[in-house]
Structure 1
Amino acid sequence: MEIQQVAQRLVELCRAGKYEQAHEELYAPDAVSIEGDGRQADGVTIGMEAIRHKGREWANNIVEVHGGSVGDPIVAQGWFSVVMGIDATYKDMGRMAMQEICVYRVRDGKITHEQFFYDTDKS
Protein backbone atom coordinates (compact mmCIF):
# COMPACT_ATOMS: atom_id res chain seq x y z
CA MET A 1 0.00 0.00 0.00
CA GLU A 2 1.26 3.48 -0.83
CA ILE A 3 1.42 6.09 1.94
CA GLN A 4 -1.62 8.02 0.62
CA GLN A 5 -3.66 4.80 0.71
CA VAL A 6 -2.51 4.01 4.25
CA ALA A 7 -3.37 7.55 5.35
CA GLN A 8 -6.83 7.47 3.74
CA ARG A 9 -7.59 4.03 5.20
CA LEU A 10 -6.55 5.11 8.70
CA VAL A 11 -8.81 8.18 8.46
CA GLU A 12 -11.69 6.02 7.18
CA LEU A 13 -11.34 3.52 10.03
CA CYS A 14 -10.91 6.20 12.72
CA ARG A 15 -13.99 8.07 11.49
CA ALA A 16 -15.91 4.80 11.89
CA GLY A 17 -14.44 4.23 15.38
CA LYS A 18 -12.66 1.06 14.22
CA TYR A 19 -9.33 1.62 15.98
CA GLU A 20 -8.56 -2.07 16.58
CA GLN A 21 -9.21 -2.85 12.92
CA ALA A 22 -6.81 -0.02 12.00
CA HIS A 23 -4.15 -1.62 14.21
CA GLU A 24 -4.68 -5.03 12.60
CA GLU A 25 -4.65 -3.78 9.01
CA LEU A 26 -2.21 -0.92 8.96
CA TYR A 27 0.45 -1.26 11.66
CA ALA A 28 3.79 -3.07 11.64
CA PRO A 29 4.25 -5.62 14.45
CA ASP A 30 7.10 -3.59 15.97
CA ALA A 31 5.36 -0.18 15.71
CA VAL A 32 6.13 2.52 18.27
CA SER A 33 3.54 4.84 19.82
CA ILE A 34 4.54 8.05 21.61
CA GLU A 35 2.26 10.24 23.69
CA GLY A 36 3.27 13.91 23.63
CA ASP A 37 7.02 14.31 23.94
CA GLY A 38 7.46 10.79 25.31
CA ARG A 39 8.94 11.97 28.61
CA GLN A 40 6.11 10.66 30.82
CA ALA A 41 6.67 7.28 32.47
CA ASP A 42 4.18 5.64 30.09
CA GLY A 43 4.92 7.95 27.15
CA VAL A 44 6.49 5.37 24.81
CA THR A 45 4.78 2.11 23.86
CA ILE A 46 6.63 -0.44 21.72
CA GLY A 47 5.04 -3.31 19.78
CA MET A 48 1.51 -3.94 18.61
CA GLU A 49 0.43 -6.01 21.59
CA ALA A 50 1.35 -3.15 23.93
CA ILE A 51 -0.25 -0.57 21.61
CA ARG A 52 -3.47 -2.61 21.48
CA HIS A 53 -3.45 -2.86 25.28
CA LYS A 54 -2.99 0.92 25.58
CA GLY A 55 -5.90 1.46 23.18
CA ARG A 56 -8.18 -0.87 25.13
CA GLU A 57 -7.32 0.88 28.41
CA TRP A 58 -8.14 4.25 26.83
CA ALA A 59 -11.46 2.94 25.47
CA ASN A 60 -12.37 1.31 28.81
CA ASN A 61 -11.83 4.66 30.55
CA ILE A 62 -14.50 6.35 28.40
CA VAL A 63 -17.94 6.66 29.95
CA GLU A 64 -19.58 8.51 27.04
CA VAL A 65 -18.49 10.09 23.75
CA HIS A 66 -20.25 13.38 23.06
CA GLY A 67 -18.57 14.14 19.73
CA GLY A 68 -15.41 13.83 17.73
CA SER A 69 -13.68 14.62 14.49
CA VAL A 70 -11.00 13.23 12.18
CA GLY A 71 -9.49 15.58 9.63
CA ASP A 72 -8.06 14.78 6.23
CA PRO A 73 -4.47 13.51 6.11
CA ILE A 74 -1.54 15.65 5.05
CA VAL A 75 1.17 13.53 3.42
CA ALA A 76 4.89 14.35 3.07
CA GLN A 77 7.11 11.54 1.78
CA GLY A 78 7.19 8.82 4.48
CA TRP A 79 5.04 10.74 6.96
CA PHE A 80 1.46 11.92 7.31
CA SER A 81 -0.47 13.85 9.92
CA VAL A 82 -4.12 14.10 10.89
CA VAL A 83 -5.94 16.42 13.28
CA MET A 84 -8.28 14.44 15.55
CA GLY A 85 -10.61 15.61 18.26
CA ILE A 86 -12.82 14.03 20.88
CA ASP A 87 -15.32 15.31 23.42
CA ALA A 88 -15.82 12.56 25.98
CA THR A 89 -16.53 11.85 29.61
CA TYR A 90 -13.79 9.77 31.21
CA LYS A 91 -13.95 7.76 34.43
CA ASP A 92 -10.82 9.42 35.80
CA MET A 93 -11.04 12.95 34.33
CA GLY A 94 -14.71 13.77 33.84
CA ARG A 95 -15.81 15.46 30.62
CA MET A 96 -13.04 16.82 28.47
CA ALA A 97 -12.86 18.04 24.89
CA MET A 98 -9.47 17.89 23.20
CA GLN A 99 -7.78 18.09 19.84
CA GLU A 100 -4.47 16.58 18.86
CA ILE A 101 -2.08 16.43 15.96
CA CYS A 102 -1.37 12.79 15.12
CA VAL A 103 1.83 12.11 13.16
CA TYR A 104 2.52 8.75 11.50
CA ARG A 105 5.52 7.24 9.72
CA VAL A 106 4.95 4.62 7.02
CA ARG A 107 7.54 2.14 5.78
CA ASP A 108 6.89 -0.79 3.47
CA GLY A 109 3.16 -0.02 3.48
CA LYS A 110 2.74 -0.19 7.29
CA ILE A 111 2.62 2.38 10.07
CA THR A 112 5.82 2.01 12.07
CA HIS A 113 5.59 5.10 14.29
CA GLU A 114 2.80 7.24 15.67
CA GLN A 115 3.05 10.29 17.90
CA PHE A 116 0.29 12.36 19.43
CA PHE A 117 0.71 16.04 20.31
CA TYR A 118 -1.89 17.65 22.57
CA ASP A 119 -2.32 19.86 25.62
CA THR A 120 -3.14 17.99 28.80
CA ASP A 121 -4.50 20.91 30.83
CA LYS A 122 -8.26 21.49 30.92
CA SER A 123 -8.05 25.27 30.40
Structure 2
Amino acid sequence: MNTQQVADRLVALCREGKYEQAQQELYADDAVSIEMEGAPGAGPGKVQGMDAIREKGRRWMESIVEIHGGSVGDPVVAGNWFSMAMGIDATYKDMGRMPMEEICVYRVRDGKIVHEQFFYDVG
Protein backbone atom coordinates (compact mmCIF):
# COMPACT_ATOMS: atom_id res chain seq x y z
CA MET A 1 0.00 0.00 0.00
CA ASN A 2 1.14 3.53 -0.63
CA THR A 3 0.98 6.29 1.99
CA GLN A 4 -2.48 7.50 0.93
CA GLN A 5 -3.89 3.98 1.12
CA VAL A 6 -2.37 3.39 4.56
CA ALA A 7 -3.74 6.74 5.75
CA ASP A 8 -7.23 6.04 4.40
CA ARG A 9 -7.28 2.58 5.98
CA LEU A 10 -6.09 3.89 9.35
CA VAL A 11 -8.79 6.58 9.34
CA ALA A 12 -11.48 4.03 8.44
CA LEU A 13 -10.44 1.64 11.22
CA CYS A 14 -10.11 4.41 13.82
CA ARG A 15 -13.57 5.73 12.95
CA GLU A 16 -14.89 2.23 13.69
CA GLY A 17 -12.92 2.07 16.97
CA LYS A 18 -10.78 -0.80 15.66
CA TYR A 19 -7.44 0.43 16.99
CA GLU A 20 -5.97 -3.01 17.67
CA GLN A 21 -6.87 -4.19 14.17
CA ALA A 22 -5.23 -1.06 12.76
CA GLN A 23 -2.03 -1.79 14.65
CA GLN A 24 -2.00 -5.43 13.58
CA GLU A 25 -2.73 -4.66 9.94
CA LEU A 26 -0.86 -1.41 9.32
CA TYR A 27 2.13 -1.15 11.68
CA ALA A 28 5.68 -2.44 11.21
CA ASP A 29 7.02 -4.70 13.96
CA ASP A 30 9.66 -2.09 14.89
CA ALA A 31 7.32 0.93 14.85
CA VAL A 32 7.96 3.83 17.25
CA SER A 33 5.23 5.67 19.20
CA ILE A 34 5.87 9.06 20.83
CA GLU A 35 3.59 10.90 23.27
CA MET A 36 3.89 14.48 24.47
CA GLU A 37 6.38 15.10 27.28
CA GLY A 38 4.67 15.54 30.64
CA ALA A 39 1.29 14.21 29.52
CA PRO A 40 -0.68 12.90 32.51
CA GLY A 41 -1.27 9.16 32.27
CA ALA A 42 0.75 8.84 29.06
CA GLY A 43 3.35 6.56 30.60
CA PRO A 44 6.69 6.44 28.82
CA GLY A 45 7.05 9.24 26.27
CA LYS A 46 8.54 6.95 23.62
CA VAL A 47 8.11 3.24 23.05
CA GLN A 48 9.39 1.02 20.26
CA GLY A 49 8.08 -2.27 18.92
CA MET A 50 4.56 -3.59 18.64
CA ASP A 51 4.57 -5.31 22.03
CA ALA A 52 5.35 -1.99 23.74
CA ILE A 53 2.83 -0.09 21.60
CA ARG A 54 0.08 -2.62 22.39
CA GLU A 55 0.92 -2.43 26.10
CA LYS A 56 0.75 1.37 26.01
CA GLY A 57 -2.67 1.15 24.35
CA ARG A 58 -3.89 -1.44 26.85
CA ARG A 59 -2.87 0.75 29.81
CA TRP A 60 -4.58 3.77 28.23
CA MET A 61 -7.82 1.84 27.68
CA GLU A 62 -7.73 0.57 31.27
CA SER A 63 -7.54 4.19 32.49
CA ILE A 64 -10.86 5.05 30.81
CA VAL A 65 -14.14 4.79 32.69
CA GLU A 66 -16.40 5.94 29.84
CA ILE A 67 -16.06 7.35 26.33
CA HIS A 68 -18.64 10.05 25.62
CA GLY A 69 -17.64 10.81 22.03
CA GLY A 70 -14.82 11.23 19.59
CA SER A 71 -13.78 12.25 16.12
CA VAL A 72 -11.25 11.30 13.45
CA GLY A 73 -10.43 13.80 10.71
CA ASP A 74 -9.44 13.16 7.13
CA PRO A 75 -5.76 12.47 6.47
CA VAL A 76 -3.35 14.98 4.94
CA VAL A 77 -0.60 13.20 2.98
CA ALA A 78 2.86 14.48 2.00
CA GLY A 79 5.31 11.94 0.62
CA ASN A 80 5.86 9.19 3.18
CA TRP A 81 4.12 11.19 5.95
CA PHE A 82 0.51 11.84 6.86
CA SER A 83 -1.36 13.52 9.65
CA MET A 84 -4.90 13.66 10.96
CA ALA A 85 -6.79 15.33 13.77
CA MET A 86 -8.39 13.17 16.43
CA GLY A 87 -10.54 14.02 19.39
CA ILE A 88 -11.92 12.13 22.37
CA ASP A 89 -14.25 13.08 25.18
CA ALA A 90 -13.71 10.55 27.95
CA THR A 91 -13.90 10.12 31.69
CA TYR A 92 -10.65 8.79 33.15
CA LYS A 93 -10.17 7.00 36.48
CA ASP A 94 -7.58 9.47 37.74
CA MET A 95 -8.47 12.70 35.87
CA GLY A 96 -12.26 12.75 35.58
CA ARG A 97 -13.95 13.83 32.37
CA MET A 98 -11.54 15.42 29.94
CA PRO A 99 -12.15 16.25 26.30
CA MET A 100 -8.96 16.24 24.23
CA GLU A 101 -7.94 17.09 20.67
CA GLU A 102 -4.66 16.11 19.04
CA ILE A 103 -2.74 16.05 15.79
CA CYS A 104 -1.40 12.60 14.95
CA VAL A 105 1.58 12.34 12.60
CA TYR A 106 2.65 9.09 10.92
CA ARG A 107 5.53 7.95 8.73
CA VAL A 108 5.08 5.08 6.27
CA ARG A 109 7.85 2.84 4.95
CA ASP A 110 7.28 -0.17 2.67
CA GLY A 111 3.51 0.07 3.15
CA LYS A 112 3.63 0.02 6.98
CA ILE A 113 3.49 2.69 9.68
CA VAL A 114 6.94 2.94 11.25
CA HIS A 115 6.48 6.11 13.33
CA GLU A 116 3.57 7.75 15.11
CA GLN A 117 3.71 10.91 17.17
CA PHE A 118 0.95 12.76 18.97
CA PHE A 119 0.71 16.51 19.58
CA TYR A 120 -1.74 17.96 22.11
CA ASP A 121 -1.91 20.46 24.94
CA VAL A 122 -0.63 19.17 28.26
CA GLY A 123 -2.11 20.48 31.49
Pair in the same fold by TM > 0.5: yes
- Which runs of structure 1 show a deviation greater than 4 angstroms over 4 or more consecutive aligned residues? 37-41
Match of 1:116 in 2: 118
Is 1:3 matched up with 2:3? yes
1:42 is aligned, of 28, 41, 44, to 44
For residue 47 of structure 1, what is the amino acid of its counterpart?
G
Query: Once the 2 structures are TM-superposed, how far is the Cα of residue 60 of structure 1 from its aligned partner?
Result: 1.0
**What is the alpha-carbon distance in structure 2 between the residues aligned to residue 114 and residue 105 of structure 1?**
7
Question: Is 1:74–1:81's contact at 8 Å kept on the other side of the alignment?
Answer: yes
3-state SS of the aligned residue for 1:4?
helix
**What is the alpha-carbon distance in structure 2 between the residues aligned to residue 33 and residue 86 of structure 1?**
19
For residue 10 of structure 2, what is the amino acid of its counterpart?
L
**What is the alpha-carbon distance in structure 2 between the residues aligned to residue 41 and residue 56 of structure 1?**
11
Match of 1:20 in 2: 20
**What is the alpha-carbon distance in structure 1 between the residues aligned to residue 28 and residue 95 of structure 2?**
32
Identity %: 72
Q: Which runs of 5+ in 1 are unaligned?
A: none
Deviations 1:60-90 (A, max 9, x none): 1110001100000000000000000000000
Deviations 1:26-77 (A, max 9, x none): 0000000000259997100110000000001111111000110000000000
TM-score, normalisation: structure 2: 0.94
Match of 2:29 in 1: 29
TM-score, normalisation: structure 1: 0.94
Question: Is 2:31–2:114's contact at 8 Å kept on the other side of the alignment?
Answer: yes
3-state SS of the aligned residue for 1:36?
coil
Q: How many residues align?
A: 121
Q: CA RMSD in A?
A: 1.6
